[in-house]
Structure 1
Amino acid sequence: MSILNLINDLNAGMMPDHYKELPEEEMVQRILRIKKTYGERLFIPGHHYQKDEVIRFADATGDSLQLAQVAQQNTKAEYIAFCGVHFMAETADMLTLDEQVVVLPDMRAGCSMADMANMQQTNRAWEQLTQLFGDTIIPLTYVNSTAEIKAFTGRNGGATVTSSNATRMLTWALAQKERILFLPDQHLGRNTAYELGIPLTQMAVWDPIAEKLMYEGDIQDVKIILWKGHCSVHEKFTVRNIQHVKRRDPEINIIVHPECTHDVVTNSDYSGSTKKIIDTINAAEPGSKWAIGTEMNLVQRIINEHPDKQIESLNPDMCPCLTMNRIDLPHLLWSLEQIDKGEPTGVIKVEKDIAEDAVTALNRMLSIG
């Protein structure tokens, strides 16, 4: 392929600049017109972290796996415009019918955490770790991972994990093998294992760049091998943020996502999945005070939905998830109009053999609950 052809192919998948100049109300009306025309043939799932300008058009909102499962149940939709990031759209494609078309409105909407574990790194790590520990390791991967990593996990007897069921999944995994390789988020793995009573001294970190196991002590004591990955949003919450908020108002409750670092989780009043955070605030007494450590778009939405409570971000200088925010009103409109023209762009299609192994990992998790 020539450089010119490559550039033309890349440009064909890019939104034309004129969409950025359209008046907001015109974009809204054009989207509503397409939604009305397609009816049940079009389904728009929207992740909790999406901007309000996008969420307003979502047919369902939720976390990544929840949205993929809702898409799976919707067999009437011909097109699924997934307003999230790439790995989420992959999961939706793997769980839906072959004839259903899943599109991502902006193909640049990736996930830095998912990108921290690729297949080449994982194969090399597995080879070295099994040389060290033999057949004593079972892999678990956070659903915030690529289809290839989910497939690797499925092929090797492991399962996927969500932040809601991580405790159950680690308990199950430790009943299968002596050790766990937890990909790709070290913080969720560490916080969950610690909650189960596993001391930090029995946790090692695998550095995929240095291709090295980071651990001081007898490696035979290792129970949890944590992949050196993280969420670029949640890692930015700090103990200093907690101390600042508590000094200002000792009565305020701190609730954070378990993708935060271990010291932040242990110094908070509560921690839990996105669903747990939402449910906790919903159930909280009027007048109660909360500082929330998770993505800014969601925090702002929670603030707007609960005027009877004092709610703020644990870190008011936090930026929203930048990759998630690549999907905006212009990209959603462009994506839907490409569908309407019969030229869908940003189509997500996972290779069959990868999808089969990845779904095995997903189904193992779902069977455990």
Structure 2
Amino acid sequence: MDVLQHTQKQVLPEKYKEFTEMEMTERVKEIKEKFGDRLFIPGHHYQKDEVMQFADAAGDSLQLAQLSAANPAEYIVFCGVHFMAETADILTEDYQRVILPDMRAGCSMADMADIHQTERGWKIMRKTFGDSIVPLTYVNSTAAIKAFVGENGGATVTSSNASHMLEWAFTQKERILFLPDQHLGRNTAYDLGIPLENMAVWNPILDRLEYDGEVGDIQVILWKGHCSVHENFRVPNVEHIRKTRPDMKVIVHPECSREVVERSDYAGSTKFIIDTISGAPAGSKWAVGTEMNLVKRLMHQHPDKEIISLNPQMCPCLTMNRIDLPHLLWALESLEQGVVENQIKVSSDIAEGAKLALDRMLARA
């Protein structure tokens, strides 16, 4: 089947709203079987079960991008969000097409670090600190931000290797600019022994540092960004568990605030949370501070353990949940008709800089 057309439509055709779940499920199965090895569907841990049932691999963002690069499939239908599909496009071969079933599936955290704000802020920081800063960016960032970091001697980090990469960055320069999640940056730096009073926050809206001490004491500059899901786990949630369920362990993602992390029993990446609960003894009890689809999946996978959300009012990641069964079917039926809908394509100049940042990290894995 040759690709006849490439479009960038963002609106789901009406007919997909009329199908039953069973009809869509059967059609996806049929198309997957038809394409065979030419099709690869990676699914992020935060996706809905209706989508994850068709995932050829489940994982976090970088892991899925690497698996996509290692897979010879011609079509990568990425069930995640925009920055993840960008990373997959950067790492895959030219003949491979990366498709995001719904172009509205973004990441509010990644969007908090706009490249124009970043370049403007970097000029101001360089005037203040000279050549003493190296930028690092969480992989949860746009390709343009990754490229900026790569071109300025920095690297990407994941929530699993952030500590290792901060240690590396301090061998390069005296100070680190950490984008775009202030909480992961603060928690990681604190665990490495950097005092909170030596961390400043860069406000990209006001173009200024938020800091009360001597500017020369700053070791880490945290971009003022956050995950809208993880920031909704609050200190009162932890205190409620301690008061009402003292037998429960609290485990959270390091995208949660410093105050929540320091009151928890464990903090770590999505993989760390999954592995810790999987390896815990039967009968153990857990209050989990991460995205709700994953928490529900852990409940289902481990009926021998008691698992609840640290915040019972939490909802799933809304942008991640834009990838649903109708959008997945639309992407696949389009391919069946020889049409690529919603291809993610990073320009070669941005991809080159972003790959520098990714390669610096992967070289130290």
Q: Which interval holds the TM-score relative to the shorter structure?
A: over 0.9
Aligned positions of 1:7-26 closer than 5 A = 12-26=9-23
Question: Equivalents in 1 of 2:93, 2:338: separation in Å?
Answer: 19
Aligned positions of 1:39-50 closer than 5 A = 39-50=36-47
1:123 aligns with 2:119: yes
Aligned equivalent of 1:227, options 223, 239, 255: 223
Residue identity in the other structure for 2:157 = V
Aligned equivalent of 1:88, options 84, 88, 91: 84
What corresponds to 2:29 in structure 1? 32
Structure 2 unaligned runs (5+)?
1-5
Question: Secondary structure at the residue paired with 1:160?
Answer: strand
What corresponds to 2:279 in structure 1? 283
1:340 aligns with 2:352: no
Question: Equivalents in 1 of 2:318, 2:224: separation in Å?
Answer: 21
Counterparts in 2 of 1:312 and 1:58: CA distance versus 1, 3 Å? same
1:268 aligns with 2:264: yes
Aligned equivalent of 2:206, options 205, 210, 223: 210
How far the C-alpha of 1:108 sits from its partner, in A, is 0.1
What corresponds to 2:60 in structure 1? 63
After superposition, give the CA deviation of every residue in 1:151-204 in whole Å (9 maximum; x if it has no partner). 000000000000000000000001110000000000000000000010100000
What corresponds to 2:3 in structure 1? none
Does the 8 Å contact 2:75/2:97 carry over to 1? yes
Residue identity in the other structure for 1:99 = Y
What corresponds to 1:140 in structure 2? 136
Question: Equivalents in 2 of 1:228, 1:47: separation in Å?
Answer: 25
Question: Secondary structure at the residue paired with 2:311?
Answer: coil
Aligned equivalent of 1:72, options 69, 74, 80: 69
Residue identity in the other structure for 1:51 = K
Question: Equivalents in 2 of 1:272, 1:254: separation in Å?
Answer: 11
Counterparts in 2 of 1:217 and 1:320: CA distance versus 1, 3 Å? same
Question: Equivalents in 2 of 1:28, 1:299: separation in Å?
Answer: 24
Question: Secondary structure at the residue paired with 1:292?
Answer: strand
1:186 aligns with 2:182: yes
What corresponds to 1:319 in structure 2? 315
Counterparts in 2 of 1:311 and 1:95: CA distance versus 1, 3 Å? same
1:308 aligns with 2:298: no
TM-score by length of 2: 0.97
After superposition, give the CA deviation of every residue in 1:65-108 in whole Å (9 maximum; x if it has no partner). 00000000002x11000000000000000000101110000000
Question: Secondary structure at the residue paired with 1:232?
Answer: coil
Question: Equivalents in 2 of 1:165, 1:212: separation in Å?
Answer: 29
Question: Secondary structure at the residue paired with 2:288?
Answer: strand
Aligned equivalent of 2:236, options 229, 235, 240: 240
Does the 8 Å contact 2:7/2:342 carry over to 1? no
Does the 8 Å contact 2:252/2:288 carry over to 1? yes
Does the 8 Å contact 2:134/2:175 carry over to 1? yes
How far the C-alpha of 1:13 sits from its partner, in A, is 3.2
1:51 aligns with 2:48: yes
How far the C-alpha of 1:10 sits from its partner, in A, is 9.7
Question: Equivalents in 2 of 1:44, 1:170: separation in Å?
Answer: 32
TM-score by length of 1: 0.96
Aligned equivalent of 1:252, options 248, 253, 268: 248
Question: Equivalents in 2 of 1:318, 1:42: separation in Å?
Answer: 34
Question: Equivalents in 2 of 1:88, 1:12: separation in Å?
Answer: 19
What corresponds to 1:173 in structure 2? 169
How far the C-alpha of 1:368 sits from its partner, in A, is 1.0
Question: Equivalents in 1 of 2:150, 2:8: separation in Å?
Answer: 36
Question: Equivalents in 1 of 2:338, 2:108: separation in Å?
Answer: 31
Counterparts in 2 of 1:138 and 1:15: CA distance versus 1, 3 Å? same
Query: How many residues of Structure 1 are paired with residues of Structure 2 in the alignment?
Result: 360
Question: Secondary structure at the residue paired with 1:368?
Answer: coil
What corresponds to 1:195 in structure 2? 191
Question: Equivalents in 2 of 1:288, 1:28: separation in Å?
Answer: 35
How far the C-alpha of 1:343 sits from its partner, in A, is 1.1
Identity percentage of aligned residues: 66
CA RMSD of aligned residues (A): 1.1
Question: Equivalents in 2 of 1:122, 1:187: separation in Å?
Answer: 18
How far the C-alpha of 1:251 sits from its partner, in A, is 1.3
Structure 1 unaligned runs (5+)?
1-8
